Amino acid sequence: MTLKKLQAQADQLHSLGSLKERIPSSARSASSIVIRGKKLFDFTNWDLFDLRSDHVFKRAAQSAIESQGISAGSARLVSGSSKIHDVCEQRLASFFGFDDALLFSSKNQAVLSLVTSLCGQGDLVLYEDGMISPVADAAYLSEVANIAIDINDVTTLRSELERSKFYQGRFIFLESLSVNSGKAIDIVSLVALAREFQAVIFLDESYAVGMRGIRGSGICEEHQLDQELLGVYCDLSLASSCYGAVVASSQAVCELLLSRSRTFSNEVAYPNCIASGVVAALDHLELQHSGRERIRRLVEQLSTACLELGFRVLNDDGGPLVIVGTESGKLALAIQEALFQKGFLVESTAPRKLRSEIASVRFVINQAHSEKMVESLIRALAEIKSHLKL
């Protein structure tokens, strides 16, 4: 394909209003942001407990930069591993309740490594339809059989597991809390079903960390399921306000990842300064009992008001998300744009092909938001609903 044809495709997206763009911000806090010279209340920020303002968190990263620099300069299996990496991975393993853990540069790389290192021909990968993790892509690249499942349809899932008994291994990938619906899965029932059919589960805790569990380590902790799961993985750029991802599992699984993952073998090691920041972030997250309660109250406040206004609210009350479903992606975008004009930054989502998603407007609630901010947002939504005749 020539550059001319690629340019034509980009021009077509532009004419349809579908061309995405990078919009730099000139200033940002946990609850506000300045974009194009306009100050907005920010309801897209996953810094749930305002770690960007925490002195201990920032000093941990600064100290590592002063002693280690930023880049490790080589891969972990060459000379890039450090004591900071060991401390961070041990801390993450303890936080999630597993024997071992490994750091990765992104959640995509963690998922790719899990599928390519643990699954092969003769195995089956089952993944939650609509999940963000690229499990299907990883399985396709590895030529591993894979099936999308609807976790809300236990009867169909049971049938899939019954039909797949001839596979050597069955690996189920699930999100503990969906970023699309804001709802937590019935992990206890799913674990029981997996146990019945001798399947194993890897749980994505990315959107539950910070809010679920006594220490904020997720739904696995909340239901004490660490002995029932093969492992968990988590995006470290959300509630922990750092970067990259982690896989927490048994020592045997981590040893296989070390030995088989091309990413781990070839990529330059995870930056020491960020690993040091992760440790400080976990120490901070574990103590945020009052912060979690505050976020839950604000989520309830906004969810209740949206229901009273006649919006379709999808989320439950266990996470930091309020998700308002809409009839179309166009309508979700219209609400997003109207809120922007009124001083609020939110995210709209449109359903992708072959996915069980619906269009929606997503609000991320964090500790830095106040009741007055949420009240202002509710008034803006009421005005928009009246104007758009929803």
Question: How is domain 55-286 classified at the CATH fold level?
Answer: Aspartate Aminotransferase; domain 2 (3.40.640)
Helix (H, G, I), strand (E, B) or coil at 332: helix
Q: Check if the beta carbon of residue 143 is closer than 8 Å to that of residue 124.
A: no
The pLDDT > 70 percentage for the chain reads: 97
Cα distance between residue 194 and residue 289, in whole Å:
32
Question: 119-129 pLDDT, tens per residue?
Answer: 999 999 999 88
Question: 82-112 pLDDT, tens per residue?
Answer: 999 999 999 999 999 999 999 999 999 999 9
Q: Is the pLDDT of residue 354 over 50?
A: no
The pLDDT > 90 percentage for the chain reads: 77
Residue predicted with more confidence, 231 or 349: 231
Per domain, the residue ranges of the chain are 14-43+289-388, 55-286
Other C-beta atoms closer than 10 Å to the C-beta of 126 total 25
pLDDT at 27: 85
Helical (H) or strand (E) element with 362: strand 360-364
Average the pLDDT over each of 70-74, 295-299, 306-310 and give the range with the smallest value. 70-74
Cα distance between residue 94 and residue 211, in whole Å:
17
Average pLDDT value for the chain? 93
pLDDT at 46: 97
Q: Check if the beta carbon of residue 107 is closer than 8 Å to that of residue 243.
A: no
Full DSSP string of 153-171: -HHHHHHHHHHTTTSSEEE
Question: 39-53 pLDDT, tens per residue?
Answer: 999 999 999 999 999
Question: How is domain 14-43+289-388 classified at the CATH fold level?
Answer: Aspartate Aminotransferase, domain 1 (3.90.1150)
Task: Order across the sheet with 360-364: list the strands.
Answer: 312-313, 321-325, 360-364, 347-349
Question: 146-165 pLDDT, tens per residue?
Answer: 999 988 888 888 999 999 98
Cα distance between residue 220 and residue 208, in whole Å:
9
Question: 159-218 pLDDT, tens per residue?
Answer: 999 999 899 999 999 999 999 999 999 999 999 999 999 999 999 999 999 999 999 999
Region 340-363: mean pLDDT is 83
Other C-beta atoms closer than 10 Å to the C-beta of 328 total 12
User: Long-range contact list for 25-33, CB < 8 A, 24+ apart?
Assistant: 29/53, 29/368, 30/366, 30/367, 30/368, 31/366, 31/368, 31/369, 31/370, 31/373, 33/345
Q: Check if the beta carbon of residue 53 is closer than 8 Å to that of residue 261.
A: no
